[in-house]
Structure 1
Amino acid sequence: MNHTFQTLEFNRILEKLESFSHTEAAQDQIRNLMPSNVESQVKKDLQNTTEARIILDRMGLPPAVGMKDLSNIITTTKQGGCLLAEELEETGVMLTGVKRLKDFLNRCKYLELSLPYYELELDPMMDLSDMIRESIRNGRVEDHASKLLKSVRQEIGRLEERLRTKAEAILRKNKNWFSDSYVTIRNERICLPVKKDYKSSVPGSVIGQSSTGSTLFIEPSAIAVMNEELERLRIEEENEVRRILYTLTAIVEENLPVLEKNKRYLDKLDFLFAKGRLSQEMEGVEPFMNTEQFIRIVDGRHPLMEPKSVVPLTIELGKKERGIVITGPNTGGKTVSIKTVGLFSLMAQCGLHVPCVEAELCMNRQVLCDIGDGQNITENLSTFSAHITNVMKILKEVGKESLVLLDELGSGTDPLEGMGIAIAILDELRLKGCLFLATTHYPEVKTYAKEREGITNARMAFDKETLKPLYRMEIGEAGESCALDIAMRLGMSEQMVERAKRYAYGEWESPDQLKFERDIKEGLKQPRKDKKLGKSQSAEHKNEIQTKYTVGDSICVYPDKKKGIVCKPVNDQGVLQVQLPDKKIWINHKRIQLLVPAAQLYPEGYDFSIIFDTVENRKARHKMDKGYQEGLEIKTE
């Protein structure tokens, strides 16, 4: 599943979801979010997201609840430690947030949703909250936390003022003894900056010295007694602060079960509202979930693309067809389309809304995909090898309740063999009974999808005039690569494009004939009457050519070595009709090499219309054999 998440960029969806959360627990839950295979759980999760979205749309954002270090606070309290003033203040902030959130949810009850009733599980513990707020502020125990603390701090303030006044008087009286005109604090004791030469002039204790040693910091004997009294008062202050912190910690410990319950529901609500905010940003809707392996998306938008630039995707899969083969030009949106379907499936089973007008999605046991070139240098895997390795893993894991996404099926190798492999893979998926979407450029695969029950073609629309993809999927129609049109618009000459078209569609001339024509144009040769291009040859030679091939012969078409079957024998112009895997073509007999004669392949009197005729024509002939059918016609090529 991790490979699927990475390929479909589902991790980016989770990153966006995480950005809307505030608590560490909710963020951890989002990072580890996995699609659920339990239908009831998925529907419940989706309903919660819907209710969160309704509240956000109607009531605005809920108040954010600060829970910076609550887990550490709970752990410290359980272990019998004393909470610091900052930790107690954080607890108070959380309780204040609980009160605000509870009030917010109460106001939401008129919406007649179930989510607002989570407020019944929240307890703001007003007594503890008020006590913390009155005792601690800005990470410090307040003076009025107790009468004794207030008294001690007042006395400390008065004594510090007397000390400073006494020390400054000494400074003013003997300015030449000192290196500075102000008192200083060293080791929490008030000192005077005495020049080294005047050390004996200022009786007292040396507390420290400057880096150069020219100044000594001396505590004068005249203020030593007051410094000792100040130190005693500070110890008394510290003891009272510690007593207050222990008292508050004990109260927190008594209420730990309530605090932990608050935390659980705050984490849960944070997660739910994060899902609601993601839905709001994407303009998502709740998809209807089914267990019938049916997918229907109306105007779906890839959730990671700019909404204004995305052409909506409408697709239906699972009722008539289990698989769709998507064709069309490069950069036409084929890959984005199948990624959109895969992402929607993952998001829905994680309880997330999907950005579209309407969606019905199915419960998938797994979403399996092979998208991208997959080349792995460290494992010495080519693009083709990597694709096949991934596909083989998929075929081992796939089941009836799987959704499979395959991009550029059969690419990266010889076109003829790649086409065969692509069809074999599709056939295997069809037999497995899973849902699948595949993109390809092979015309033979388009033909396969058209003829096989349970599979259909789709194409990505393309504007040949502007050479711009329209990013619109059209179900039931096979697309074209449009490579020749694109090449001409990008600068390829008309002659080159025509030549490419002849080579691509079997309308080229042989190298000998092209050389003969070129020699004639350059005046190097004169055409012989019996060999002149476009004229009938001698009767004997003509008869030999016309009897060389018969209907049903297996032949090879050069120069690209395509295999085909002769539909119509050679005519007066030396041209015969050949059935290729995806179409019929007329081609010069010189491009043909006989592989196996029809006599060795088919019994005498074999009905070749089974091979060459369309299904519609065969049905029409069958009806005509029974008598006249008004309005019925047989279309010939």
Structure 2
Amino acid sequence: MIKTEHILEFDKIKETWKTFALTENARTEIEKTKPMMSEREVAARLRETSEAKNMIEKFGQPPLAAMSNIREWMHIAETGGCLTPEQLEEAEKALVAVERMKKYLCQGKNYHIPLAFYEENLYSFEDIREAISQQIRGGQVCDGASRTLKSCRQDIEKEERTMREKADNALRANKSCMADSFSTLRNGHICIPVKSEFKSRIKGNVIDRSATGSTVFIEPTAAARHYDALQLLYIEEENEVRRILYVLTDMLYQQKEVIEQDLCMIEKMDFIFSKAKLSLEYDGTEPVINTERRIVIKDGRHPLMDKNICVPLQFSVGNGVNGIVITGPNTGGKTVALKTVALNCMMAQSGLHVTCRQAEICMNSNFLCDIGDGQNLSENLSTFSAHIANVLDILKKAGRESLVIMDELGSGTDPAEGMGIAVAILEELRNSGALFLVTTHYPEVKQYADRTEGIQNARMTFNRETLKPEYQLVIGEAGESCAFYIAGKMGMPEHMIKNAAMAAYGKDELPEDLRNLTSGNQLKKERTGGIQKQKNILSTAKAKFHPGDSVMILPDKKIGIVCQPENEKGVLRVQLPGKKIYINHKRVKLVVAAEKLYPEDYDFSIIFDTVENRKLRHQLDRGKMIEKEITLE
């Protein structure tokens, strides 16, 4: 299953999906998600996704929180420990998040959204939240948390003030003996800096000395008495702080089971709402689930492709047609069409919305795929051997409730034998009763599909004038490879195409449109000057881009404006936000031509030049002499 997820890129969908989850448990649940086998369960999970999406559209994003450390803190309390002020504040924030989520869901109850009734399974702890907020603030236990703590801290403040006064009195009384004019704190003791030669004149304890030894730091005897009193007060303060922390920790622990229920519910809500956020990201819709072995996709697209450039897919299978054989030219989108169908089916069975305008998906017991060269180096298998090994494994598993997709059926070996193997595989799939989609180039396979009940041809459209694929699937028609037509369009002479037709089909007669296309083609050989001529062609070719054109830089899809057209090497200069770059024209795509953006004779220095340079040029145009240098960008 993991291999199939990777082939269909469902693992990439999961990676995007996990970014919308806040709790670790929800992310783990996403990682474990796989297609469900129960129609009732799939329908329930899809309904949850739709309801969550409805709530987000009505009330905005849910106020979910990670609450990642709650269970760890409950374990600390269970083993007799107490939480720190920071941990208690985080626990309070988590309880506040529960209360906010409860209110958020209550809004949905007013609209009779079933998901919103989960609110009844969330419990708020106003007494605990209030106790923590009143006694903990800024990561510290507040002075007002108890009378004892307030009195103790007042006494500490008083003793510290008196101790410093005593030290300052000693400093002023012995000013001539001092190395500095202020007292300092050393190892918790208030000290005065005394010159080393006068240390015997000052009554007190030497606490520290300077690195040079010229200064000693003495705690005056009058201040030392207050230091001892302070240590007792610090102990009293610490005991009272720990007592308060233990009381608050115990308040949380007493509600451990209910808090655990809240946490589980928040994680469940996080998982459900992450599906809704993914649907919003991909502009998904809820599919209809059936058990009649029927798949209908209208305006479908691959979720990982840009929806603004993706050509919508129209697809249907079932109702007496179990297999679709897709043909057409290379790079025509056949593999993308396979993956789009299978991936949307897998997403639907996992409780996710599909990337279609409308979809009807059947339940599938397994997804069986053979896409890619499949070369197995560890087992010393060639591409074809690995392909056949995978196909045989698929045929063993394929049944009436399977969805099978195979790319380039029968490829990788002798064409005649590959064609025979492809037909044999299709016959076996037809007998298994599975729904299957395959791609192929073999004309005999198209003929087999055309005459066999339960199998239908389909093709990917191709524009013969532009020689570009149109990425549209047409079911009911067989496609053409268009190899001869493309070769003729690219300049291959008629006699070469006739030789190719004779080798391929045993006849050299060409269709009239192909004869007309190749009648003037000649194969010109050049023996010298090839490199120089190519350069000349580049230099004399009409420029593709002009200053002011709005262009897209690929593959980053950044938008910029052309500053300088391409040179003889095909390199142009583009203005991006904050910088200008040189880039090969092959990595640049025209978005809007300059003539559609600016009037004729528009001064592009307004865009590309600095204000200072423009002023200097203006002065030059007026005949003024200037001493500054104009820097060309």
Please classify the TM superposition score into its range, dividing by the shorter chain length: 0.7 to 0.9
User: Distance in 1 between the 2:47 and 2:267 partners?
Assistant: 18
Map of 1:107 onto structure 2: 107
Offset at residue 64 of structure 1 (A): 2.7
User: Distance in 1 between the 2:229 and 2:455 partners?
Assistant: 94
| Contact preservation (8 Å) 1:192, 1:219 | yes
Amino acid at match of 1:144: G
Map of 2:326 onto structure 1: 326
Q: Does 1:298 align with 2:298?
A: yes
Unaligned runs of 5+ residues in structure 1 are 510-637
| Contact preservation (8 Å) 1:66, 1:97 | no
RMSD value, Cα: 2.4
User: Distance in 1 between the 2:497 and 2:20 partners?
Assistant: 53
| Contact preservation (8 Å) 1:301, 1:312 | yes
Tell me the alpha carbon deviations over residues 324-347 of structure 1, each in whole angstroms, 9 at most, x when there is no partner: 111111111111111111111111
| Contact preservation (8 Å) 2:164, 2:223 | no
Amino acid at match of 2:9: E
Map of 2:85 onto structure 1: 85
Amino acid at match of 2:124: P
Map of 1:415 onto structure 2: 415
| Contact preservation (8 Å) 2:324, 2:456 | yes
| Contact preservation (8 Å) 1:23, 1:267 | yes
SS of equivalent to 1:289:
strand
Map of 1:466 onto structure 2: 466
Offset at residue 363 of structure 1 (A): 1.0
Amino acid at match of 2:137: R
SS of equivalent to 2:449:
helix
Unaligned runs of 5+ residues in structure 2 are 510-633
TM-score, structure 2 length as denominator? 0.76
SS of equivalent to 1:470:
strand
Map of 1:268 onto structure 2: 268
User: Distance in 2 between the 1:458 and 1:282 partners?
Assistant: 27
* Residues 458, 214 of structure 1: alpha-carbon distance in 2 compared, 3 angstrom cutoff: farther
Tell me the alpha carbon deviations over residues 206-254 of structure 1, each in whole angstroms, 9 at most, x when there is no partner: 4455667666554443422222222221111111110001111111111
| Contact preservation (8 Å) 1:20, 1:278 | yes
Map of 1:60 onto structure 2: 60
User: Distance in 1 between the 2:207 and 2:120 partners?
Assistant: 61
User: Distance in 2 between the 1:388 and 1:195 partners?
Assistant: 93
Q: Does 1:403 align with 2:408?
A: no
Amino acid at match of 1:463: N
Map of 1:315 onto structure 2: 315
| Contact preservation (8 Å) 1:66, 1:90 | no
> 1:68-467 maps to which residues of 2 (within 5 A)?
68-168=68-168, 170=170, 183-192=183-192, 200=200, 202-208=202-208, 217-467=217-467
User: Distance in 1 between the 2:485 and 2:183 partners?
Assistant: 89
User: Distance in 1 between the 2:210 and 2:407 partners?
Assistant: 75
Offset at residue 123 of structure 1 (A): 1.0
Map of 1:588 onto structure 2: none
Question: Mean Cα displacement is larger for which, 306-315 or 483-492?
Answer: 483-492
User: Distance in 2 between the 1:110 and 1:103 partners?
Assistant: 11
Tell me the alpha carbon deviations over residues 545-600 of structure 1, each in whole angstroms, 9 at most, x when there is no partner: xxxxxxxxxxxxxxxxxxxxxxxxxxxxxxxxxxxxxxxxxxxxxxxxxxxxxxxx
User: Distance in 2 between the 1:357 and 1:187 partners?
Assistant: 73
SS of equivalent to 2:21:
coil
Amino acid at match of 2:334: K
| Contact preservation (8 Å) 1:409, 1:440 | yes
Offset at residue 351 of structure 1 (A): 0.7
Offset at residue 36 of structure 1 (A): 1.0
* Residues 245, 332 of structure 1: alpha-carbon distance in 2 compared, 3 angstrom cutoff: same
Tell me the alpha carbon deviations over residues 435-481 of structure 1, each in whole angstroms, 9 at most, x when there is no partner: 11111111111111111111111111111111221111000111122
Tell me the alpha carbon deviations over residues 331-372 of structure 1, each in whole angstroms, 9 at most, x when there is no partner: 111111111111111111111110111111111111111111
* Residues 490, 79 of structure 1: alpha-carbon distance in 2 compared, 3 angstrom cutoff: farther
* Residues 309, 195 of structure 1: alpha-carbon distance in 2 compared, 3 angstrom cutoff: farther
Offset at residue 139 of structure 1 (A): 2.1
TM-score, structure 1 length as denominator? 0.75
* Residues 319, 156 of structure 1: alpha-carbon distance in 2 compared, 3 angstrom cutoff: same
* Residues 92, 423 of structure 1: alpha-carbon distance in 2 compared, 3 angstrom cutoff: same
Offset at residue 80 of structure 1 (A): 3.1
Amino acid at match of 2:407: D
Map of 1:592 onto structure 2: none
SS of equivalent to 2:458:
strand
User: Distance in 1 between the 2:124 and 2:481 partners?
Assistant: 65
* Residues 390, 167 of structure 1: alpha-carbon distance in 2 compared, 3 angstrom cutoff: farther
SS of equivalent to 1:409:
coil
User: Distance in 2 between the 1:196 and 1:497 partners?
Assistant: 107
Offset at residue 420 of structure 1 (A): 1.5
| Contact preservation (8 Å) 1:298, 1:357 | yes
| Contact preservation (8 Å) 1:330, 1:481 | yes
Tell me the alpha carbon deviations over residues 255-274 of structure 1, each in whole angstroms, 9 at most, x when there is no partner: 11211111111111111111
Question: Mean Cα displacement is larger for which, 478-487 or 449-458?
Answer: 478-487
User: Distance in 1 between the 2:256 and 2:177 partners?
Assistant: 61
State how many pairs are aligned: 509
* Residues 444, 131 of structure 1: alpha-carbon distance in 2 compared, 3 angstrom cutoff: same
| Contact preservation (8 Å) 1:66, 1:93 | no
Map of 2:24 onto structure 1: 24
User: Distance in 1 between the 2:367 and 2:213 partners?
Assistant: 76
Amino acid at match of 1:363: M
Larger radius of gyration: 1
Map of 1:586 onto structure 2: none
User: Distance in 2 between the 1:370 and 1:415 partners?
Assistant: 19
SS of equivalent to 1:253:
helix
User: Distance in 1 between the 2:181 and 2:410 partners?
Assistant: 88
* Residues 216, 334 of structure 1: alpha-carbon distance in 2 compared, 3 angstrom cutoff: farther
Offset at residue 308 of structure 1 (A): 0.5
User: Distance in 1 between the 2:418 and 2:195 partners?
Assistant: 93
Question: Mean Cα displacement is larger for which, 77-86 or 253-262?
Answer: 77-86
User: Distance in 2 between the 1:317 and 1:389 partners?
Assistant: 27
Tell me the alpha carbon deviations over residues 511-532 of structure 1, each in whole angstroms, 9 at most, x when there is no partner: xxxxxxxxxxxxxxxxxxxxxx
| Contact preservation (8 Å) 2:64, 2:266 | no
* Residues 134, 475 of structure 1: alpha-carbon distance in 2 compared, 3 angstrom cutoff: same
User: Distance in 1 between the 2:117 and 2:469 partners?
Assistant: 50
